[in-house]
Amino acid sequence: MMRLKYTFLFLLATSFSFAQIIKPDAGQSTYIVTGTEALSSGKSIVLKPGSWIKRGANFTAKVTEITTANDAYTSFTLSSNENYVLNRSFQSPMGNFNPSITKEGDVIESVTYFDGLGRPKQSVGIKASPSKKDIITHMSYDEYGRMPKDYLPYEAAGALSTFRTDASSATNSYYQTFYSSDLNNSYLNPFSEKEFEPSPLNRVTKQAAPGYDWRLGGGHEIKLDYYANNANEVRFFKVTFSGGNSQSPILTGGSTYYPVGELYKNLVRDENQVGGTNTHVTEEYTDKNGRVVLKRIKHPYSGTTYDTYYVYDDFGNLTYVLTPKVTTDNVSANELNELCYQYKYDERNRLIEKKIPGKGWEYIVYNKLDQPILTKDPNLGEQGKWLFTKYDAFGRVAYTGLANIPGSTTRTSLQTAANGVAISWVTQSNTATNTGGTAIYYNNGGYPTSNISEIHTVNYYDTYLDTDGLNVPSSVLNQTKASNTKGLATVSKVRVLTTNQWITTITGYDSKGRAIYSASKNGYLGTTDIVETELDFGGKIKRSITNHVKGNNSSIVTEDNFLYDHHGRILLQKQKINGQAEVTLVENSYDKLGQLIQKKVGGNLQTVDFAYNIRGWLKQINNPSNLGTDLFGFKINYNSTELGGTSLYNGNISETIWKTKNDETSSQPWTQRAYSYKYDGLNRILGADYKIRSSSGSFGILGDNYFTLSNISYDKNGNIISLQRKGASGLIDNLAYSYHDSEISNRLKKVTDLSNNIEGFSDGTNATVEYTYDQNGNMVKDLNKSIGTTTTNGITYNHLNLPVKIVNSKLYGTINYIYDAMGNKLEKYVVGAGIAPTTTLYAGNYVYENNTLQFFSHAEGYVEPDGSGGYDYIYQYKDHLGNVRLSYEDANDNGSIATSEIREENNYYPFGLQHKGYNNVVNGTENNYQTYQGQELEEELGKNTLAFQWRDYDPAIARFNKIDRFAEKYVSHSPYAFTKNNPIAFREIKGDSISAGSQAEFNAQRTNVQNKQNDLTARRDRLVERGASQSRIDKLNTRIDGIGETLTNLGNLESSSQFYRLDSGAGEVGGTTYDPATGEVVIAYGSTANFVHESTHAGQFESGNIAFDSGTGNTYAQDLGDESASYRAQYAYDPSSVSGLSSTSRVRSLGDITNAWVQGIRTSTGANIYGVGGASNTGITPLNVNSTRADLIRAYPSNAGALGGLPADWTFRSLPTIYLKE
């Protein structure tokens, strides 16, 4: 057991005093206290002889207790007079289900207590707080059985695991103590709260959040209203088919309107709305099938509407999306091409063609298992090439590459050829076959079998083939490697594009099938990386050793060790490199509910404190009003202001305030710097006023509004029209934007800077057309930067739409890039007139320039070679968006940081342009590889863009240079826009996804479900009053209960630690998948009924009934029972959405939805979906994440032979790529 006793030392010095040694051990060097100092540690504090605390100084030192997983287990007794369910998640191996638990870290436990009606009334996380106290969540119901209040959890002392009878008052007391600034003693509301309309429907009309400013009746709730559409309110669009061919849709309509009362109209006013006005209001119109027809936002001042129309064909497939910039009364061919999303489907309702605004048509060919096997975009079409994918018999990707297919070959003819292939998969072999010029250990089965020109990736499973000399050792950090790897991914080979070199990676597993070893050899870079990982029973990393070697260089061996508390929260991460002394990278502390509140970085070089409001929004990183020994402080204001700005309540940030140590030593020692932000009714930033706080204590402007951003305006799709920016010398940018096709397009045509200042945006030309694009929507010319000329393109892209060559005509320079087939940048070569050629190599975590190592990253910054065979640690402060703000190093190794040891400081305008003219400290080498949002700033040849993985971003004009790969997730916004034009609240993920919530949409859908239950309840009560038959009443009761289960599930999803994203434009097919790029589970749907179905699958993920593949996002462990449950939930909400499905029998009640019925469902063409061999690959017997090999064989009897080769102790959990909810 690890137990550190409390030690507390306080000295108020009245004379020079020799500092006592708290613990005799090697530790800090000489320490001198002159003012107020506080030291805190989870282990020990050592002051060496020679340390002094001077007269008048206040010094505190505290050694606090660290609760670890090795503390002795404390037993508990549940409340036996209550109904309960106890949950245990074991973290250590146990001999039986009811074992003798000895350590706190052996198990994570919780209990839910239920009332007599089976409703949960209290949830207890047993010993879940960092101090091993219970965390309680109280639940209550009104007289109608509704749950109007959702209470926040609180930490409770007293008897562990027991039902707390004072939970309501205890919750109030807890939040009154710890979040007093967010509450009012006259009205304590540590809960979210709903207001229902006074009718039998009981629909939610207001949704309030915790905190006094968001209280019910306070004016800052989410407000919901329900209507039917009025006359001349929603335009009527329709899809017709040319010649009756469903693959040739035509958009018609738009000149007439839906009749009165034909559509449901829901209004959602967010928390910034003012009174009953139409500010911050979203209108959503749905048809009788529950499909979204129109989403409308009205500009609060001009009254301009921003409409996004969704148009469906006769089969319910989403066929057109008309973005807000479209003139909807008469959609022109140009608007359809430049501004609309278009989709075509085949007779099996499979998406076969699609068009993203500003991009040409893309095509998809499928095999008979409905797996996409050929895809082509416009650029590939010009080259006569298609991308192909081949699968093995289990649906796993075997290999991918390029096929040369003449441009005259139609998609239809390719589909016909694919349909004629008897076997749709490839088979792994021990003998290599030459395919597309590459020897691979698969046959050339499936389709295509000819015209394969190049293999890009190869994946091997079950056994180790073509390893390029790499081998898995028999033991990895005292863990025996798996003797049977059936069902596991073993070898991955990725081509380095434009070369014949490969990156080969092998993965080794332990006996549970968990990845513990990875070795990767990069033939192009000449590097080998080996990662050994030691896991505990629960799968947490205890130790990781990385060995990196390039060519004949010495190995760089990095060892990381991790310590966790009893609930799996990381406490410490330590690291050592080669023979250097071990360094504590970070030591974490948590509040009573497990929220990170402090981390000590670099062995206490800096203590970083975090503060949050009652809603969990980050408020502060250190304290800019009192830095003390901190180098950086950052404050975020939402609903309270200090700069005279507008209080905001919907999560938008009203102000940010910061200060660094450099400010205290400058010639003008401003106490703090700040931005006050302005937004429009669509939450887009309009401006940012820069202010400073002087020694007088008040905030004011600096000079001529230095560093202010203003006059930002947008078109209806969020393309910027104008922007002004000031620097230290006054106005530096006065930008006017124009767009192609007479302003119709999203594609930028020209930017004019009326400031005549080259700082910020540099207006390098005054051509009529300054930016041009290829058919994929990639920018190929930027004449303002001399990238290309009026007659030649300046940027060349590969098939991944990544730039491979950039030519600067003015500087006679070229930037060449090399990537692997997965899109990872491996090399950048820069050459130009008067410029020394530079080659940058990106070897995973290691960056080289001209073959010399520059740095590699660690958890809190990066590491540099010190020139003497050792390594220096550089640490970083980042703000809430991940922007690197300040870097520092303990250059003299004295255990503390002086201002002179700050390496560099960066401050940014909104949209990411750096401030110039103050605090641009560079002690040592400037690191442009990690800047705004953690991205590399590429300044070579005047490029001046941020290199997100999939797109380059220009902070001077606040736009990406190409279309978002996931543009369909944000159809109401320009595919070139950055963070939906709210760069203060959101950040980009790899340049193709925005980290943004779906709460308003979730609330709207949940309200629909709640309203349906209320409606059914009212109908049932009327039937009872009229003396209707019990069978009719029972049918309604069954549906009411089913909807109740859905509402409970939605509550679980909302409170989950998993991030969910809603995609409401998916049509009736829908789906629940995992997005590896964002870590989100995506619930895609086209109607509320479909939403109920798919959210039920999300609930199955929460309960461990299904999981996902972390690489592909596909579903694991889905069985007929999972589908039956989802269809029953869907039927309870809307029977008509299920009863019309084609199956072996017709559904007339919930009881008719059985596994057999699900198995019989067919598409309109008779295709099998859930049956044996169906497209969904659904198990016929129950499966979950703990299912074994035997379970899998029962679920897939037709594959029993192959599945029998899996290890005897195989479970889904053993899959290396499984993503599951613990």
Q: Report the candidate in 351, 350, 349 with the shortest Cα–Cα distance to residue 341.
A: 351
Q: Which helix (H) or strand (E) holds 911?
A: none
CA 899 – CA 888 distance, rounded (Å):
9
Q: Which stretches does DSSP call E strand in 851-978?
A: 852-858, 861-865, 871-878, 884-888, 902-905, 936-938, 945-947, 952-954, 959-960
Cβ–Cβ < 8 Å for 107, 88 = yes
1144 domain residue, yes or no: yes
pLDDT of residue 299: 81
- Is 468 buried (19+), middle (13-18) or exposed (0-12) by CB count in 10 A? middle
pLDDT above 80 (res 1200): no
- Report residue 505 as tokens: 């990676």
335-339, 872-876, 1074-1078, 1155-1159: least confidently modelled range = 1074-1078
Q: What percent of the chain has pLDDT over 90?
A: 62
Q: Report the candidate in 121, 1159, 224, 1026 with the shortest Cα–Cα distance to residue 1036.
A: 1026
pLDDT of residue 13: 30
pLDDT above 70 (res 56): no
pLDDT above 80 (res 469): yes
pLDDT of residue 20: 32
Give the chain's mean pLDDT: 88
Q: What separation, in Å, do the N-terminal and C-terminal C-alpha atoms of the chain show? A: 26
1164 domain residue, yes or no: yes
11 domain residue, yes or no: yes
pLDDT above 90 (res 290): no
940-944, 1143-1147, 1164-1168, 1193-1197: least confidently modelled range = 1164-1168
Q: Give the tens place of pLDDT for each residue, 478-501.
A: 999 998 898 888 999 999 999 999
pLDDT above 70 (res 1189): yes
Tally of structural domains, the chain = 2
pLDDT of residue 1011: 74
Grade residue 729 by pLDDT with cuts at 50, 70 and 90. Answer: confident
Cβ–Cβ < 8 Å for 279, 646 = no
What mean pLDDT comes out for the span 860-875? 95
CA 327 – CA 715 distance, rounded (Å):
13
Grade residue 1086 by pLDDT with cuts at 50, 70 and 90. Answer: confident
- At 212, the amino acid letter reads Y
Cis check for the bond before 448: say yes or no (omega within 30 of 0).
yes
What mean pLDDT comes out for the span 376-389? 96
What does each C-alpha distance from 501 to 497, 838, 843, 1197 come to in angstroms?
8, 22, 14, 41
What mean pLDDT comes out for the span 1056-1082? 71
CA 894 – CA 890 distance, rounded (Å):
7
Q: Give residues with Cβ within 8 angstroms of 184, minimum separation 6.
A: 212
What mean pLDDT comes out for the span 616-622? 93
Grade residue 1109 by pLDDT with cuts at 50, 70 and 90. Answer: confident
Grade residue 302 by pLDDT with cuts at 50, 70 and 90. Answer: confident
**How many CA atoms, within 13 angstroms, populate the side-chain half-sphere of residue 192?**
15
Q: Are strands 1060-1063 and 1080-1084 parallel, antiparallel or unpaired?
A: parallel
pLDDT of residue 17: 28
48 domain residue, yes or no: yes
pLDDT above 60 (res 2): no
Which range marks the domain in which residue 36 is found? 7-63
18-32, 133-147, 411-425, 1053-1067: least confidently modelled range = 18-32
pLDDT above 70 (res 1): no
> Which residue, 33, 63, 93, sits at the end of a domain?
63
762 domain residue, yes or no: no
Between 796 and 110, whose confidence is greater? 796
230-239, 574-583, 1072-1081: least confidently modelled range = 1072-1081
pLDDT above 90 (res 214): yes
Question: What three-state secondary structure class fits 1222?
Answer: coil
What mean pLDDT comes out for the span 114-128? 91
What does each C-alpha distance from 679 to 25, 983, 1100 come to in angstroms?
56, 11, 39
961 domain residue, yes or no: no
Q: Which long-range contacts (CB under 8 A, 24 or more apart) does 589-592 make?
A: 589/42, 589/130, 590/130, 590/565, 591/130, 591/178, 592/129, 592/130, 592/131, 592/133, 592/135, 592/154, 592/155, 592/178
pLDDT of residue 1221: 77
pLDDT of residue 46: 62
1077 domain residue, yes or no: yes
Q: Report the candidate in 483, 443, 490 with the shortest Cα–Cα distance to residue 462.
A: 490
What is the phi/psi pair of residue 541, to 5°?
A: -80, 120
pLDDT of residue 861: 96
CA 720 – CA 798 distance, rounded (Å):
28
Cβ–Cβ < 8 Å for 866, 855 = no
Q: Give the tens place of pLDDT for each residue, 308-351.
A: 999 999 998 999 999 999 988 889 999 999 999 999 999 998 99
What mean pLDDT comes out for the span 805-834? 96
What mean pLDDT comes out for the span 125-148? 92
pLDDT of residue 168: 96
CA 100 – CA 190 distance, rounded (Å):
38
> Which residue, 22, 47, 63, sits at the end of a domain?
63
> Which residue, 63, 86, 107, sits at the end of a domain?
63
CA 1133 – CA 1036 distance, rounded (Å):
11
pLDDT of residue 1064: 64
973 domain residue, yes or no: no
Grade residue 1147 by pLDDT with cuts at 50, 70 and 90. Answer: confident
pLDDT of residue 21: 31
Neighbours of 826 (CB within 10 A): 22
CA 849 – CA 864 distance, rounded (Å):
13
Q: Give the tens place of pLDDT for each residue, 343-367.
A: 999 999 899 999 999 999 999 999 9
pLDDT above 90 (res 182): yes
